[in-house]
Chains A and B, each alone.
Chain A
């Protein structure tokens, strides 16, 4: 069987995404995780952290880009004026 992109994605979803959630719940249940803040004990807190921060970063930056993104020769053009 050749390794296709679809197969790799399936492995990623099942083993990594699903696996980390299951493992996280188990570790929490058996009291193996020790944190400093109470909010870190929320099941899947780090999963939410990773997903949400990543999404905020990309979408927020695209929003900022409305004002910040300019053509490559922005400063050269201004100087010529």
Chain B
């Protein structure tokens, strides 16, 4: 049996060679080749070259490394980690092709490190290496956001970094407490309950939830996704939240709290999305909303719930990448993706519109697209455990997703009832042919093909790759008809209220307001009034101390000094004596 090679490590280490390749074509080929090597390793693993993969939850164990008195394991190969790794690598390839014309080598390096570290986090069996690779992914993501090079991208990159360091801190605190009390370092099922003894698991869950972008700790997500680099932010959107949800699925399946958190996340993000004017921010809110479905599926925790959650992650990575690619093409061609500045682009960007629309239909769960299969699975799981309210809210979220991604976003970006785009954009467009570069279109076609293929025929290889055997049949008359009727009436309501879904040149506050306004106020309060008060207190106490010393030395000099320090000094002495007196009396 051959020795297994870690695909994530290969991609990460290989990334550093990119800047040294001088010839441009060779460099471009190398960038795409590297994750393809990862894909080949995964295919060989699936074929059983490195040992046959047992049924989930047992796994093949590779790359064990002794560390202190623990054993780290970088290669836990089971059906769960394999399906994640596959989709990460395939979508990584699509994104790298999409960004192939990018001239900044370091963007490609950061992208490859991000893909590689995310794949490594998925394969890690122990909590330490999971955290280690998640932190590497965070670092590379920060650079990917900064590559936009604007002032706002720098600020939001920092905010992204702080949120993820906070998540890492929570996770690390939880891990240390967990390891202290149990001695186990496995990233596996954790106990759950409501008691002080479960503290480490609360910490770990908060860490995962911040990474996953759950309400109310989601605000870093639209902030970072809308200000990051034109092509580079795509990598961040696809992997970082999903690695967090992967942790939730591994550690906390069946925790009821997650069901409600997931449902609330799915709905609230949509309310905020209505008010958005920026296409990428809107996509960011949709990623949060879909993350809600996955968290909910993990919380339901039945076989179907876990399957729904995992398959929704897989499908979501594919179509969300397509959605953001659509917004990115408009941004890279016209220089803006704000609804108030675009419109009338259809004749100039036909192909990218249709490819985008495949993503839009997929995320909404229109039959024959992959979102329909995975979303129905999660919703069915909620139905089977008899949660009517969760079911209704998830259906409501489906309606909202259709409204935004299949109606609002394409209408505002490509149409707005205009034949021609605004004059300042028209200057940047060539002629009435497709303006999108060919590599971007190829990059978009890969996820578009997967969306349709997995939607039309989910049974192979998609169902085969899921961790548990799947008996779920997505295409029943009931389901297809119900969802079609729902979408027809969603369109009707959107048509009646069409004037309200146009973009407005405004900015919407989110939960990061709490940090940015009251938080800043707290900092400035600490900086000025609190410090001034502290200095005043310091001075008064010193003055009183001087008087006391002077009294002890010579009462005559002390008496002479008294009038100067009598005010606050004596007051403080009085307070201290009163407190002392109270304690003494109470003590007796």
Asked if A and B bind, the verdict is yes
- List the interface of chain A (C-beta within 8 A of B): 12, 16-17, 20-21, 23-24, 27, 32-37, 39-40, 44, 46-62, 64-65, 67-75, 78
Partner of A62, one of B399, B478, B485, B500: B500
In the complex, which residue of chain B has the Cβ closest to the Cβ of A34?
A: B478
Interface of B is mostly: helix
Q: Which residues of A contact B510 (CB under 8 A)?
A: 68
Beyond A27-B477, A65-B275, A72-B507, whether A47 also contacts B500 by CB under 8 A is no
A76 to B476 Cα, complex, angstroms: 53
B-side interface size class:
35 or more
Distance between B443 CB and nearest chain A CB, rounded to angstroms: 31
Beyond A47-B489, A49-B395, whether A61 also contacts B274 by CB under 8 A is yes
Interface of A is mostly: helix
B181 at the interface (CB under 8 A from A): no
Q: Which residues of B contact A74 (CB under 8 A)?
A: 507, 509
- List the interface of chain B (C-beta within 8 A of A): 270-275, 383-384, 386, 388, 391-392, 395-396, 399-400, 403, 476-478, 481-494, 496-497, 500-501, 504-510, 516-517, 520
Partner of A16, one of B395, B488, B500: B488
Q: Which residues of B contact A50 (CB under 8 A)?
A: 399, 485-490, 492-493
Q: Which residues of A contact B520 (CB under 8 A)?
A: 78
Lowest 5 CB-CB distances: which A-B pairs, in order? A61-B274, A50-B489, A54-B493, A50-B486, A36-B383
Beyond A17-B489, A47-B489, A61-B274, whether A54 also contacts B506 by CB under 8 A is no
* Interface pair A69/B275, CB less than 8 Å apart: yes
* Interface pair A47/B488, CB less than 8 Å apart: yes
Interface pairs (9), CB distance under 8 Å:
A20-B485, A33-B478, A46-B483, A47-B488, A50-B489, A51-B489, A58-B403, A71-B506, A74-B507
Contacts A12-B491, A65-B508 aside, 4 further interface pairs with beta carbons under 8 A come to A20-B481, A54-B494, A58-B403, A75-B516
A67 to B273 Cα, complex, angstroms: 15
Beyond A36-B383, A46-B485, whether A58 also contacts B477 by CB under 8 A is no
Distance between A21 CB and nearest chain B CB, rounded to angstroms: 8
A47 to B19 Cα, complex, angstroms: 56
Q: Which residues of A contact B490 (CB under 8 A)?
A: 50-51, 53-54
A61 to B497 Cα, complex, angstroms: 13
Distance between B317 CB and nearest chain A CB, rounded to angstroms: 25
* Interface pair B477/A54, CB less than 8 Å apart: no
* Interface pair A69/B271, CB less than 8 Å apart: no
A36 to B400 Cα, complex, angstroms: 23
Q: Which residues of A contact B400 (CB under 8 A)?
A: 53-54, 57
Beyond A36-B383, A64-B275, whether A58 also contacts B500 by CB under 8 A is yes
Beyond A47-B485, A50-B493, A53-B400, whether A68 also contacts B383 by CB under 8 A is no
Beyond A23-B481, A54-B493, whether A17 also contacts B488 by CB under 8 A is yes
Beyond A33-B478, A47-B489, whether A55 also contacts B516 by CB under 8 A is no
